[in-house]
A and B are shown apart, each in its own frame.
Chain A
């Protein structure tokens, strides 16, 4: 058998608490995106397209839906004789059981899994970004520079740099300094949370970190600074294409609508770099006689009789006659009844917006622009007839008919 040169470890255990009601029952990587995808489709598809066919998925928070979604890994061609996709939840040992305490600790607890493949390199990924990236190029650079650790970086606007982990580099691309969310950033190279490590080095630092009681067991906070201060060879890998963190409601909403922006190059059905997903068995979409659809993404199983503009609709969504959906994300199985209107909102799976109800507000119509934001209706909830949900509201329970929120 050919030796596995590189395996990927995908951190998918985070709660994503800033996504509120969307991640109440669901891990962030399983949050729907782009009409038919889940966020985790991106790192998984990138892996298989980059030739990496062994992927460990570290789960901890609400893993049921994620486990179901990944299944045998077939949709991503990750059902393999050797390697393939493995779900790695925390587990009990003879000396007790531990939750994953941090990103580095999650990898530490799975050293045995990694050692089974005895790889030269380990690629660390996270499950909360939308991007298409050839990891093979990054690994190639890692080999060529003889680095111990390579970190993918993205140039961000200088004024936003203080929101990211910033790499200050020497001329040869080696990292001189790493600052987590610096107040006065010295560079605009932001870490994308994608690391290639030479496995022997990483193992050494993981074990060292484990024995340090003060450590938060986190890559950004502990492992990377520790390696830097020990003068290990660390390089940046430049990435220039579309990349978006979807950690907040606003950024999730924006990232969905970016697919409709002609200025943004993000083709998910490019035959050379497809993003794969587990598809439901639904018939093609039906656009009715009374429908008006513009500037939107619509997928299989949808039935449209109303008005849809600048929106992303997931499978089996029904928009009844006289309903109106603008600037919104409507997740699988949701129904927008006649006369209802949805503006600047995310409506989660199987939610029902009853007749003449209103969800969300246009920024130009709101009384208080300071407090304006995207509204969210949680999965399976019903917004009663004539009810109103204003801007920037997160609906966590059913709303009675006529109620205003």
Chain B
């Protein structure tokens, strides 16, 4: 059922710098992922599948592709009279700067937050790929009487993520300590950047922090107030991964390719991941093709060999081409007898006949959008 007492906020630009090649022309939220999605689809779908029908997306920069993807919000059922999707670009006034952290981003969207009537706010980043029962997390937040509930995952810390929060808990899952170090080697409980908080409390905390010129939600609000605020953790058992570098993007894709359980958890029919459709034909497998262990979206035409790779919509692989351990984004054209291994191509890349190119598992080659190789 729809719940009318929770709204969502997504930060599609936070941590853009972690994947610099892919965010050269777009925000983190609009990075293509897993054949037919954009990273923001996972946050949006989690919110919508929890019954939330009002979502603000606080855009910062490079958001044309994001606007194109989100349009009216129809694919997520967010084209509404009441609520729906709100794209909130930077509010350009002489005294406002472009955001540097969550606090000033929220300050820039303050009128949207203040004009809302929902009691709670769920805030999400866009560099986490997960599909979990957010409704249960909201219920738990209300039941425990927490001020703040943050989703976390147990495992190895994403290394490149400088300000990722990791937590220590007491026996009731209340957070007793927040660490902001990326130097922890052993398994720990790190944040998935999904935070539930009461709207009025958020407004109060943001305005106070903003007056002190603070910008970082974790460092300036949560960490110093770990004893004043009741902060609880919500563990996500199912597959969840944080993108903190181009390599981690490739690794997460590979993990999904290799791990059928992770695939099942991320794409459960209970909570579909929604995205903008493109109305491509189904993929056409040619007479001489040999495709194994691969994820393939619609609209591809495959006449060559494809192994352990991800093909996005509209990729063409000509006869004699051999693609191994590659990620080929939308509408890439791979010519005859091309041999590529451990290569990730952005959209619209053309690799001409006969080209050979190879990266290493630990260092995949990345080819930028629209390149002609």
Contacts and interface: CB of A to CB of B under 8 A. Distances in A.
Interface of A: 34-36, 74-75, 259-260, 267-269, 274-277, 279, 281-300, 308, 312-313
Given A284-B36, A293-B289, A260 B279 contact: no
Given A260-B284, A284-B296, A308-B285, 18 more contacts: A35-B281, A35-B282, A74-B74, A274-B279, A281-B275, A282-B267, A282-B272, A283-B273, A287-B293, A287-B295, A296-B284, A296-B285, A297-B282, A298-B282, A298-B285, A299-B298, A312-B282, A313-B282
B285 A284 contact: no
Most chain B beta-carbon contacts within 10 A, residue among A276, A285, A290, A308:
A285
Contacts of B279: 75, 269, 274-277, 279
19 contacts: A35-B281, A35-B282, A268-B281, A281-B274, A281-B275, A282-B272, A283-B35, A283-B263, A284-B298, A285-B296, A287-B296, A289-B292, A294-B287, A295-B285, A296-B285, A297-B285, A299-B282, A299-B298, A308-B285
Contacts of B285: 293-298, 308
A284 B291 contact: no
Interface band, chain B: 35 or more
B155 interface: no
B282 A286 contact: no
Contacts of B289: 293-294
B157 to A, nearest CB: 28
A292 B297 CA distance: 17
B20 interface: no
A281 B263 contact: no
Given A269-B299, A287-B291, A288-B292, A298 B283 contact: yes
A267 B316 CA distance: 14
Contacts of B287: 294-295
A282 B285 CA distance: 19
B36 A300 contact: yes
Contact of A287 (B267, B281, B294): B294
Nearest to A279: B277
A48 to B, nearest CB: 12
B286 interface: yes
A199 to B, nearest CB: 32
Contacts of B275: 281
A164 B134 CA distance: 59
B167 interface: no
A367 to B, nearest CB: 30
A294 B297 contact: no
B300 to A, nearest CB: 9
A81 B104 CA distance: 40
B282 A34 contact: yes
B35 A284 contact: yes
Contact of B281 (A291, A295, A297): A297
A12 to B, nearest CB: 21
The 5 A-B pairs at the shortest CB distance, nearest first, are namely: A284-B35, A35-B282, A299-B282, A281-B272, A283-B267
